[in-house]
Amino acid sequence: MSIPMIRASISRSLSLSLPFTLSSTDESFSRRKRQLSCAPSELNPVRSEVSFRVGTHLIPHPNKVDRGGEDAFFVSNYDGGVIAVADGVSGWAEQNVDPSLFSRELMSNASYLVGDEEVKNDPQILLKKAHAATSSIGSATVIVAMLERNGILKIANVGDCGLRVIREGQILFSTSPQEHYFDCPYQLSSEMVGQTYLDAAVSSMELMEGDTIVMGSDGLFDNVFDHEIVSTIAKYRDVAEAGIN
């Protein structure tokens, strides 16, 4: 399992700034090295158009570093910004199927379709269209968050990828994992037995300037407690400063 993480702060602006931090580390590093985020700036109500300021980090499992891990993500500057993570299901490797192919194609399709007129800023419909366009064998848990310029964040989640919204040092909102039973999350799949976009947990909320969003696979949230995420975020003033410490 990889641990893709996306940290996004909300700022009042007319454009999307994307300072990326892309790297990988060994699992033997301490958990603190996985707790990469961005810090909120001074908090002000949204009075004008808003957008994401984004930083990313990917930590493949040591046994999967050679192929870049099994997970994928994308960041788009469409409207206020779009962020998404897909966690490839490792079990497919037992059938000699590369688990990364499905998650990567799913994210590639979602990135391409984000501006499709049928999507209309609806992450659930984006999942529908991206899933339908994905031909690779496999499955993945996935989360998509779309920010409108008026500050409304719309979220669609299938499985146990997650998202936290942090405001003034407190977690304001958390997604909940969807599981059939322990270690068997909901997932979009190439097989008929999988879930569809209709099974996605859908939510929305109004963001404020300076809010911080932390998104990642279960590899992040299973290994780093929420209070550790919050305390680590406080060390950074901006996503551009996020890195391995």
pLDDT of 137-178, one tens digit each? 999 999 999 999 999 999 999 999 999 999 999 999 999 999
What letter does residue 73 receive in the DSSP assignment?
Answer: E
Strands 201-206 and 3-12: unpaired
State pLDDT tens for residues 21-68.
222 333 332 333 232 223 333 444 434 578 888 877 777 777 777 666
> pLDDT value at position 67?
67
Burial class (CB in 10 A: 0-12, 13-18, 19+), 61: middle
Interacting residues of 221 by C-beta distance below 8 A, sequence separation 6+: 160, 162
Phi/psi for 18 (5° steps) reads -125, 75
State pLDDT tens for residues 76-118.
999 999 999 999 998 998 999 999 999 999 999 999 999 999 9
| End-to-end CA, the chain | 22
Residue of 186 and 241 predicted with greater confidence: 186
Q: How confident is the model at residue 8 (pLDDT cuts 50, 70, 90)?
A: low
State pLDDT tens for residues 170-220.
999 999 999 999 889 999 999 988 899 999 999 999 998 888 899 999 988
| Spacing of C-alpha 236 from chain mean position | 19
Q: Token digits for 203?
A: 């939510």
CB atoms within 10 A of CB 205: 13
- The percentage of the chain sitting over the pLDDT mark of 70, rounded to a whole number, equals 76
CA dihedral of residues 233, 107, 150, 164 (deg, nearest 10): -30
Contact 36, 1 (CB under 8 A): no
Round to whole Å and give the CA distance between 92 and 219.
18
SS3 93: helix
The dihedral through the CA atoms of 77, 3, 19, 147 has a sign that is: positive
What letter does residue 16 receive in the DSSP assignment?
Answer: -
DSSP-assigned beta bridge partners for residue 143: 85, 157
Q: What rounded mean pLDDT belongs to the chain?
A: 80
Which pTM value belongs to this model? 0.80
